[in-house]
Amino acid sequence: MTMRRWWVWIILSMVVLAAGCATSDGEPLAGAGLTATPTALVSPSPSLASPVALTPTAPIAPTATATPALLAVLTEPVSRPEDAISTETVGGIVELARWSTDARASNAVFSPDGRWLAVTGSTGVYLFDAGTLETARFIDTGREVDSVAFSPDGEVLASGAYSFFGRVSLWRTSDGALVGELESGRGSVGAVAFSPDGTMLVSGVFDGSIYFWGLAEGQMLGGLEGGSGAVSSLAFAPDGQTLASGTSEGSARLWRVADGSLLNAEEARRGGESRVTFSANGTRVAVAGGGDRVTVWRGSDGMPLLTLDHPDTVQCIAFSPDGALLATGAADGVLRFWLVDDRQLLHSVPADVSELAFSPDGRLMVSTADDRSVRFWGVDWSVAGEAWATPTPTPAPWPTSPSSAPFHALVSGDVPPGTVQDVWVSPEGEVWLVTDLSISAYAEGEWVPLYIGLANRVLGMDSTGRVWVAMNDGWRVASYEEGAWTFYGTEEGWTPGYGSAPVVDGLGRVWMVEGESVRFLDPETGQWTALTAAAVGFGPLEDMYEPVRVLTALARDQAGNVWVGSCIQDGIVIAGQGVRWFDGEAWRGSEDTAGECVHDIVVDGAGRVWMTGFDALIQYDPAARAWTRRALPEWERRQLITSFALDAAGNPWVEFIRFGATGPWHSTALYRWENEAWVAVYDPEYDAPVLWDFGPDGTAWVCSDGVVYRSAGGEIEQVGVVGGTCAEVVVDGVGRVWVEVGFDGEAVLWRFDPE
């Protein structure tokens, strides 16, 4: 049981709730292994089904000038270092040379055999001898090239460009001849990649489609829907069994090539292109999803392993040939080098980079940038010096102190990878942890993955034992029962929204509130139906400036009635319209709750219905058909109860805010009802959210302003300092206390283990 009302502080901070936009979240786990839902390859249209013959055309002659106009200014020759860039030598990396250009150089790629370096430009591709970095030839494509890839043997270069035809051009590297073209007819090609055995090529186009081509005859084999946005990045695993894809809107996918099964998906956290790349041994795939984080998945099945946080948007990524280093370029103008599996930042160099590539021998790294430069990087200790050789330590984001005892922060290795979103305890005492990468349960000292993909929070367990979870950005909800997940999206009538704690009525319908609606799931049809506030019986919002109404609370009483509460925000003014309840035939209401902002509704063992309001806790006794109010301790201005629970003895506990003279609120307090009077549990007389939960022994655990307290037998004592802003406190079945704390936009999980 948790006392947090996550939306209370949103309303009081005058934030208007809006639905996000996302797509798939990934797929569930069955036991320890990933079970993917097969996704059939998209069938080619009849007009594209005929083979595209790879018939050679006349070779395109190299340009007359030794150095193409695009790379007109070469500041200095590039000397190839003796040492490869590695975890031992990265401290000595320097910029070896910079080629200034008079047009956009968008991408640079080495051929797998180490013979060639291709640099794309506004009118074609520039091909260089990778050993000497001397110009070999210019391939005039007639338009700006968005993507290039070499065949495994380096004999063919594929290029994708802006066009209406989805055209991929294939060029012979030895003489620049155009040897074939592949057309999907679906718009610009933003990414291309060869399979490791060279028998297949994939292309990603503007509408998010990915096409597979057999190169023997140029036959389209089929395709996949790659996610929202244009496909911007493609990468095969070294064994050719899986394919990673990224889009211009920040989504990423991992696919099984044999049958098109979707193994994992990551949706955008912010705008920006997603980049994907495999390590040389295929055990890792790095994903930069358009935000300030790189996620590393297991290459075989997409299991999230770790994240690498950056201060700004990550624009490009590249693994070193040995797979131990990951180079990242971010919008803050810093090139970083990470020891991947340890999540350790080894070195950083100031540099604006938009694309990165390592040479196959690891001795060179090339980058392009928006300033029209092509830079070469390598190890040169004579230039780097001792200062450059010193690794940059990774700062500890969650330093502990003696005052934190007996709580300890759960860091990398203690919890599943990703940013903590929610921690929840089931009625049976089992702990669930939601990160932005997965959902896991804590069992016998280990985290057991239940779901891989983007999730938001656990909504609660219904009376039938199903656990309900809000997925990604509110576009889906899911239920979990006996190891199986069931998902509900737009096809099942779920309109965007996060949902709430579920309530099941006598007909087996599952009810939730979301925004200005209450919705229910019909168990027979599997479809959701949404009812507006007006349909429930809440009146129109009159004489208000910019009102925002939220249906806030939901409960079912012992007679089977479903109760719904409401709150209204109009600027800094908080109001409400009380409660309504559905008796199976019609929605009813009472003047006794008119004007109340109701955040919580709880039904006790005697069947009485408790609800929160302004300046009082309200109770309805159905046996006596009577409404009563327990007034809060007096205050000079209005007060609003934002959270409520009953302890083991049946005594009410309330968290409430006191409104200030000029602002929305003045302070927050926690009180309990004892001996016919309110008794202060925690009242700091300033504003800080108060979170609390009861342990199995009845002890109340309280977190506020970064400090954890416990209250037993009427006394409250400080237990530990965890810092930051308390976001959640829960107690599991064996008395372990779990605290989620926010700090500088991130979240950390603390735990106290009882003796």
Q: Are 288 and 308 in contact (CB under 8 A)?
A: no
* CA 17 from centroid of its chain's CA atoms: 19
Query: How large is the average pLDDT for residues 480-496?
Result: 90
Q: How confident is the model at residue 226 (pLDDT cuts 50, 70, 90)?
A: low
Compute the mean pLDDT over every residue in the chain, rounded to the nearest whole number. 82
Select from 574, 496, 564, 504 the least CA-distant residue to 535: 564
Q: How confident is the model at residue 411 (pLDDT cuts 50, 70, 90)?
A: low
**Tens digit of each residue's pLDDT (9 = 90 or more) over 422-459:** 999 999 999 999 987 789 999 888 899 898 777 889 99
**Tens digit of each residue's pLDDT (9 = 90 or more) over 349-361:** 999 899 999 999 9
Q: Are 678 and 633 in contact (CB under 8 A)?
A: yes
What's phi and psi for 531, nearest 5 deg? -115, 130
Predicted local confidence at residue 661, as pLDDT? 60
Predicted local confidence at residue 665, as pLDDT? 62
pLDDT at 195 over 90: yes
Predicted local confidence at residue 17, as pLDDT? 28
Q: Are 362 and 114 in contact (CB under 8 A)?
A: no
Q: Are 343 and 295 in contact (CB under 8 A)?
A: no
377 against 79, higher pLDDT: 377
Predicted local confidence at residue 135, as pLDDT? 85
Query: How large is the average pLDDT for residues 124-128?
Result: 89
Predicted local confidence at residue 636, as pLDDT? 86
Predicted local confidence at residue 366, as pLDDT? 94
Which amino acid appears at position 600 of this protein?
A: D
Which amino acid appears at position 471 of this protein?
A: M
Predicted local confidence at residue 24, as pLDDT? 33
137 against 404, higher pLDDT: 137
pLDDT at 206 over 50: yes
In 3-state terms the chain splits into helix, strand, coil percentages (rounded to 5) of 5, 50, 45
Query: How large is the average pLDDT for residues 45-67?
Result: 34
For 247, counting Cβ atoms within 10 Å of its Cβ (0-12 exposed, 13-18 middle, 19+ buried), the class is: buried
- Count other C-beta atoms under 10 Å from residue 725's C-beta: 17
Query: How large is the average pLDDT for residues 502-518?
Result: 94
**Tens digit of each residue's pLDDT (9 = 90 or more) over 592-645:** 999 999 999 999 999 999 999 999 999 999 999 999 999 999 988 899 999 999
pLDDT at 38 over 60: no
Query: How large is the average pLDDT for residues 54-83?
Result: 48
The pair of three-digit structure tokens given for residue 693, joined into one six-digit string: 């939960």
Q: Cα dihedral sign for 701, 706, 395, 344? A: positive
pLDDT at 529 over 50: yes
Predicted local confidence at residue 662, as pLDDT? 56
The H or E element containing residue 500 is none
54 against 725, higher pLDDT: 725
15 against 104, higher pLDDT: 104
Predicted local confidence at residue 744, as pLDDT? 63
- Between CA 719 and CA 715 the distance in angstroms is 13
Predicted local confidence at residue 681, as pLDDT? 93
Predicted local confidence at residue 77, as pLDDT? 63
Query: How large is the average pLDDT for residues 103-107?
Result: 71
Query: How large is the average pLDDT for residues 246-259?
Result: 89
**Half-sphere exposure in the Cβ direction for 22 (13 Å, CA):** 31
166 against 693, higher pLDDT: 693
- Upstream peptide bond of 684 is cis (omega within 30 degrees of 0): no
- Between CA 268 and CA 473 the distance in angstroms is 10
311 against 290, higher pLDDT: 311
pLDDT at 264 over 80: yes
DSSP annotation of 574 reads: E
- Highest average pLDDT, of 92-106, 376-390, 570-584, comes from 570-584
Percent residues over pLDDT 70 in the chain: 83
- Between CA 184 and CA 222 the distance in angstroms is 10
3-state SS assignment for residue 90: helix
The pair of three-digit structure tokens given for residue 482, joined into one six-digit string: 């006996």
Query: Which segments within 359-473 are labelled E, that is strand?
Result: 365-368, 373-379, 408-410, 420-425, 431-435, 438-443, 446-453, 455-461, 467-471
pLDDT at 685 over 80: no
**Tens digit of each residue's pLDDT (9 = 90 or more) over 386-395:** 333 333 333 3
pLDDT at 228 over 60: yes
**Tens digit of each residue's pLDDT (9 = 90 or more) over 535-573:** 999 999 877 778 889 999 999 999 999 999 999 988 778
**Tens digit of each residue's pLDDT (9 = 90 or more) over 713-743:** 778 899 988 887 889 999 999 999 999 988 6
Predicted local confidence at residue 103, as pLDDT? 58
Predicted local confidence at residue 225, as pLDDT? 81
